[in-house]
């Protein structure tokens, strides 16, 4: 897969289109891609240790994975990282009031792609900062663009980066 924008903001990213989930669950594809990322870091697999609480690999890199029924993606970075992959579909619009405040809704102008991208920003930030879904309201989008967006978490400014591939949005958040 060709990530034109988000690949500039992490050390390594790999994604794949899933042709069939008949025998393998989509999350397994994410794990397989993470193994490919680990091979990028170290050819000696004995050196790789993954800590699920801190998302650390070798005490030097952070990782994040995401998947839908159609795509899986894994990314690594020297900095905390969160990645999200989500299909542009109406079900996100049905729950927009649960994850967006009034200012965010006005900024997005009720476009379906914008709503999905906003959810993706918050999901990637939750992964990056090791939060729970209950913390989604603490992430406030302040600037919304096609390839990057800005948001606040704990009153600190951060950026997210986006790629659109077919009918899916991929969003990357890093904490430098």
* Max mean pLDDT range (9-13, 37-41, 93-97, 104-108): 104-108
How many domains does the chain contain in total?
Answer: 1
Residue closest to 54 by CA, chosen among 84, 83, 79: 79
State the Cα–Cα distance between residues 61 and 51, nearest whole angstrom: 11
Residue-averaged pLDDT of the chain: 83
Of 7-11, 44-48, 85-89, the range with the lowest mean pLDDT is: 44-48
With respect to residue 81, please indicate whether it lies within any of the assigned structural domains. yes
**What does pTM read for this prediction?**
0.85
Mean pLDDT of 13-25: 69
- Structural domain including 161 reads 6-175
Give the tens place of pLDDT for each residue, 153-172. Answer: 999 999 999 999 999 999 99
In a 3-state reduction of DSSP, which class is residue 31?
A: helix
Residue closest to 69 by CA, chosen among 32, 112, 25: 25
With respect to residue 114, please indicate whether it lies within any of the assigned structural domains. yes
With respect to residue 130, please indicate whether it lies within any of the assigned structural domains. yes
Number of H helices, E strands in the chain: 4, 10
In this predicted structure, the answer to whether residue 125 has a pLDDT above a threshold of 90 is yes
With respect to residue 144, please indicate whether it lies within any of the assigned structural domains. yes
Cβ-contact 171, 83 below 8 angstroms: yes
pLDDT band at 67 (very low <50, low <70, confident <90, very high): confident
With respect to residue 1, please indicate whether it lies within any of the assigned structural domains. no
Question: Which tokens go with 87?
Answer: 């299909």
CATH of the domain at 145: 3.90.470.20
Residue 167: count other Cβ atoms within 10 Å of its Cβ: 13
């Amino acid at each position: 897969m060709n990530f034109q924008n988000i690949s500039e903001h992490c050390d390594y990213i790999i994604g794949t289109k899933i042709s069939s989930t008949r025998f393998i669950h989509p999350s397994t594809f994410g794990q397989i891609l993470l193994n490919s990322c680990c091979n990028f870091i170290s050819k000696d697999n004995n050196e790789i240790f993954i800590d699920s609480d801190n998302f650390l690999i070798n005490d030097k890199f952070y990782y994040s994975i995401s998947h839908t029924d159609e795509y899986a993606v894994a990314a690594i970075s020297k900095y905390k990282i969160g990645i999200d992959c989500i299909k542009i579909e109406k079900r996100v619009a049905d729950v927009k009031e649960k994850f967006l405040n009034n200012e965010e809704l006005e900024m997005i102008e009720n476009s379906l792609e914008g709503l999905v991208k906003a959810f993706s920003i918050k999901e990637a930030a939750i992964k990056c900062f090791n939060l729970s879904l209950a913390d989604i309201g603490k992430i406030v989008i302040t600037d919304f663009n096609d390839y990057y967006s800005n948001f606040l978490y704990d009153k600190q400014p951060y950026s997210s980066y986006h790629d659109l591939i077919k009918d899916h949005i991929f969003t990357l958040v890093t904490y430098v």
